[in-house]
Structure 1
């Protein structure tokens, strides 16, 4: 693929990011004026932005299953930073992200304005974030988290951690398992995973220098959480995603790691 076409693709992404910055700036101005914006409105505008960012990415997306008709806690496997716009375009959502994302140039500001919740790993604030998640879900705002806690190469699944799934139990909402898979020429895509020491610019150049790949998003059968144990919920969700991705139930394997963008 010609270098000019690669740069044109990247320019399109940058234009969408500029749109997102403009939208976030509007929210910022209203905040300074003391005019609050509801979370529902933030989620709708976030979906609008995610849909346009997804359209600028070099993927053909196929969605299997039905979108939930009621607010749920979404849980998904995690392969790349592109998971976020691809899932965020489906329905108005908020994301649970690691605290470091808040400090990232551009992306952190956009995430905060979109209504993301942030957690500091290992800081002992899991009880606080659980209460925030519970309140978020009780107010009927869907929320998505990546319970693996890291990205993988897409060829295996890591253990789903259940400690924050208590929010779904406490708020009495169901859990929506999601399986996302990247494919290229009928095989697992090796370009999409964002793992190890990869950096965003190199990853973008690699994606846009190649032909379009495919993404399969499977919206699996919701899991009722009321009266359940969080460990059992995590295991059931993990097995459902494992079966959707690989067609069989096997023990999760270790894979190259990168701290999750959203957890």
Structure 2
């Protein structure tokens, strides 16, 4: 089990691996914030050998984990009036996150997490990022903003514009549910931008899966088969791109 920590003013959940770390992982939450589900995912990646730091990007904007859990619960409220009120409240709470200043601040916080991971013993520059929904979008953004990131795994996130995509310097594995109209509508442009930028972009679309198919606390969207496959793919992708670098000899000594 991990614990909350403070990274230069950024509250984060830190999950330690039981073995020497295979690398460091930035894990970015959904729009509900740093809720127990995200902490559980961080613990799961830690059990696979990664030092995981999951920052809280939304509490400063008014979406604390408690508020996020309440908003999420309102989506499943059987009373239609309460459900509609919850949707209105969510739009109100999310409004500040659509401002450019929020995005700049969020990326700055994420780079502080990369700083913290880069300073950890045994990480050796092996740093990756993953995220879900809101966090998937920022998994793209961090890869574009920080060349120290060696792999990015956005789950059902919307990629940034072509100019930003062109700054991505690492391989990307993007995981999507086929029944996710808003995100899927952006995929053709994402493919083209990635191709134009020369980014090593791999996508996986799960037939019949919805947005948030990985979230096992969401009974309306969780897809056990898709989630299991996405988990396995994410681990394989990390294993491939978080290998220790081979450093060439600077010179050979002749006998």
Is TM more than 0.5 here? no
Report the TM range for the smaller structure's normalisation: 0.3 to 0.5
Given the two structures, how large is their TM-score scaled by the length of structure 2?
Answer: 0.33
Q: TM-score, normalised on structure 1?
A: 0.33
